[in-house]
Structure 1
Amino acid sequence: MADNPRAQRLAKQIQQIVATAIEREVKDPRLELVTVTDVRVTGDLHDAKVYYTVRGRTIDEEPNLDAAAEALHRARGQIRKIVGDQLNVRFTPTIAFEHDTVPETSASMEELLNRARARDEETARLRANAKPAGDSNPYKTSGEG
């Protein structure tokens, strides 16, 4: 978000309005599983970027991102009208929707961390039974053999 406190407040309001509009007012079944995760408003308050995620109906089902993006694109005007009606600003910001990749990125990072932990545990097990290579005292003094 912008450093502008007014832009931050406006972004929070837009997030609530858009989430409610998608849930209650936009009649498109492709938007049932869409969640608004964040909104960023430019400093001049003219543009708002709405970030969203889509989940599948079941755990194993992949979400249909293309259908959700198309539905949001088609409903963009209606959503902007709803936002404009509920905000008390002179200019209603233009709204752009962008898929939020943070959940997928964090899941892949979590997987990488789990693999690193497993390798650390394996290395610790190997280290417990390890013996040093070569002589037990590699730093011989001049009087020794």
Structure 2
Amino acid sequence: MPSSIRLKRISDRIKEDLSELLLKGVQDPRLTGVQVTDVRVDRELTFADVFVSAVEGQVRKKEVLSGLEHASGFLRSQLAANIELRTFPRLRFHWDPTPERADHIERLLASLRHEAASAPQAEKQEDDETEDSAGNE
């Protein structure tokens, strides 16, 4: 069994090469805009779990995963030609919701910042109105 450092290097290499393949070597229109977010290889080098996401997010999840499953034989053979391993792991594709979650959190933080920035102005206007009404009496 390979060491954890070797497994990490193999995973990183698969991620890099697969990202490049998806960018330049695949003609399937279902796979445009697909990003490889992570690759995890098991200790026996039997499977490589590939986590992907797309620019459009959840809308294309089924389409992207079916395209990847359809191209998995081609992708595996191309990767095996570039990465020297005795046996190359089978690719299993999974959807990674992390980018969509991060985008959602960013939007929430931006709205909180906007509310916080507008709150002092509203308080100042209320204070000015209170002072004006107190001065007029």
Equivalent residue of 2:87, what SS? coil
What is the aligned counterpart of 2:111 among 115, 126, 139?
115
Q: 2:19 aligns to what?
A: 19
The answer to whether the 8 Å contact 1:55/1:63 transfers is: no
Partner of 1:87: 83
Distance 1:89 1:125 in 2: 63
**Counterpart position of 2:133:** none
- Map residues 120-139 of structure 1 onto 2, 5 A cutoff: 120-121=116-117, 124=120, 129=127
Size of the aligned set, in residue pairs, is 124
SS at match of 2:38: strand
Q: Secondary structure at the match of 1:48?
A: strand
Report the residue type matching 2:82 in the other structure: Q
Structure 1 match to 2:94: 98
The separation in 2 between residues aligned to 1:118 and 1:17, in whole angstroms, is 41
- Alignment match, 1:9: 9
CA distance, structure 2, for counterparts of residue 126 and residue 20 of structure 1: 51
Distance 1:126 1:27 in 2: 55
Structure 2 spans left out of the alignment, 5+ residues? 128-137
1:67 equivalent in structure 2: 63
Deviations 1:4-59 (A, max 9, x none): 11111101110122122223333312112212222122233322111222224xxx
Q: Does residue 47 of structure 1 match 2:43? A: no
- Taking only aligned residues, the RMSD between alpha carbons, in angstroms, comes to 2.7
For 1:33 and 1:119, locate their aligned partners in 2 and report how far apart those are by CA, in whole Å.
Answer: 34
* Rg larger for: 1
Equivalent pair of 1:49/1:95 in contact (CA under 8 Å) = yes
Q: Residue 137 of structure 1 aligns with which residue? A: none
Output the TM-score relative to the length of structure 2: 0.73
TM-score, length of structure 1 as denominator length: 0.69
Identity in percent = 26
* 1:108 Cα offset (Å): 0.9
